[in-house]
Each structure stands twice: as structure tokens, then as C-alpha cells.
């Protein structure tokens, strides 16, 4: 989905800044070597760089699929509701056009004014739906970015990576060796974290019933 195309741009921006500083500070970039841990104010002497393929990550990440499915369902519901209202208004307009000849001038004018008001309300409703969907998409982007970003911080620290780039067609990263592509490993880790969180949530919901069953068997 095109509205997810910028979800990891902050990661990409940070990576570009790091590369820029390294280039002009004369530091050597060595992929694959363990990175030297340093504070945010200290440039590491060795930099290990990997990247993830955004399209592949979104295609295989369960949490994204769940968010996208929910968002699409809401979009369809809102679209159906709007279509129903629009069709209802169109029916009223058609009825008025058929019966206008049997109305007095004042009656026809009153119906016309009412139809114009309903049409304006429908346009405002359409604008509201569009704004609501934009807010929903922004919230999905935020949730997805936070999940991926938080995971990558821990993942990079555990594996000794200093920079994790985001690759997608048209991005700053024009080429990356396959050995530097950690998408599959990252997706597996993200999905495991996601499933563990779901299972934990299910266990918490079921725990009261489990406690009652356990008590009843004693």
C-alpha cells in the first residue's frame, strides 16, 4: 500500500547522516566486523552496516498484515456507508424531479432547499471520512515505525551492527551486497515478538477462566 511507503524514512535519514559524517571525517567503513559500542556523541572507529528490504518486510510481517487488514476493513465500511447515503440522496432527487410538476412553487422551493442542504452535508461527510482515514493511516504508520524501530535498536546492538539501512526502489541505497541483507532474519524476529505478544495477551484473557476451572476441579 502506497501510504506505507515512508514508514521507515527516519531510519534511512539517520543512516544517511552517519554515512555523510563518516565520509568527511575519514573513517573507514567495514561491513561485517563487530561494531565498537559508543555513546551517541562518539563516532565508532569501525562501522558495521546492514540493510532491510522494506517491500519484503511489509509483505511478510504479521503485525503489518494485521494493521493493514483492519485499516482496509474500516475503509470499506466507511465507503459503503457513504455510498448508501449518496444513493439515498440520489433517490430523493429523482423522486423530486418526477413529482415536481404536482407541487406548488413554495413546496418545490422548500424541497429544493432541503436537497441542497443534504447534498452539502454529504460533501462535508465525505471530507470528514477522508480526514478520518488519513488519521488512521498516520496512526498505523506510527505504530509500525515504533515496532520496527524499537526492534532494530535491540537487534543491531545484539549483532554488533552500527547502521541499519532501509532499501526500497528509489531510495538512497542503490546497491547492497546480499550478505548485508538481513531482512529475513529481522522479519523472523519481528514475527516472533509479535506472536509472543499475542499469545501473552490471549493467556491474560483466559487466565480468569483457567483459575475458575482449576478451582472447580479441586
**CATH number of the domain bearing residue 151:** 3.30.910.20
Q: What does the pLDDT look like over 155-165, one tens digit per residue? A: 999 998 999 99
DSSP string, 161-183: -SEEEEE-TTSS-----GGGB-H
Structural domain count of the chain:
1
Q: Which domain holds residue 115?
A: 2-216
Quote the CA–CA distance of 212 and 218 in Å, as a whole number: 10
Task: Quote the pLDDT of residue 172.
Answer: 83
Higher pLDDT pick, 9 / 196: 196
Quote the CA–CA distance of 11 and 145 in Å, as a whole number: 9
pLDDT greater than 90 at residue 34: no
Quote the CA–CA distance of 172 and 20 in Å, as a whole number: 12
Q: Against a cut of 0.85, is the pTM above it?
A: no
For residue 168, which of 27, 38, 57, 33 has the smallest C-alpha distance?
A: 57
The DSSP call for residue 4 is: G
Task: Quote the pLDDT of residue 41.
Answer: 53
Amino acid at each position: 500500500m502506497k501510504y506505507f511507503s515512508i514508514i521507515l524514512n527516519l531510519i534511512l535519514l539517520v543512516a544517511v547522516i552517519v554515512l555523510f559524517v563518516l565520509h568527511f571525517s575519514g573513517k573507514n567503513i567495514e561491513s561485517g566486523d563487530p561494531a565498537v559500542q559508543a555513546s551517541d556523541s562518539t563516532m565508532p572507529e569501525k562501522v558495521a552496516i546492514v540493510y532491510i528490504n522494506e517491500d519484503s518486510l511489509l509483505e511478510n510481517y504479521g503485525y503489518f498484515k494485521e494493521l493493514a487488514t483492519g485499516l482496509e476493513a474500516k475503509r470499506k465500511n466507511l465507503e459503503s456507508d457513504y455510498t448508501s447515503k449518496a444513493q439515498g440522496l440520489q433517490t430523493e432527487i429523482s423522486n423530486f424531479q418526477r413529482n415536481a410538476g404536482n407541487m406548488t412553487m413554495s413546496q418545490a422551493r422548500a424541497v429544493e432547499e432541503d436537497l441542497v442542504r443534504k447534498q452539502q452535508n454529504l460533501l462535508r461527510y465525505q471530507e470528514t471520512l477522508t480526514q478520518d482515514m488519513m488519521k488512521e493511516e498516520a496512526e498505523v504508520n506510527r505504530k509500525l515505525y515504533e515496532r520496527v524501530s524499537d526492534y532494530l535498536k535491540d537487534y543491531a546492538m545484539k549483532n554488533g551492527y552500527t547502521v541499519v539501512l532501509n532499501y526500497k526502489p528509489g531510495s538512497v541505497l542503490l546497491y547492497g551486497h546480499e550478505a548485508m541483507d538481513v531482512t529475513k532474519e529481522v522479519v523472523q524476529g519481528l514475527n516472533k515478538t509479535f506472536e509472543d505478544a499475542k499469545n501473552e495477551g490471549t493467556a491474560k484473557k483466559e487466565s480468569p477462566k483457567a483459575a475458575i476451572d482449576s478451582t472447580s476441579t479441586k
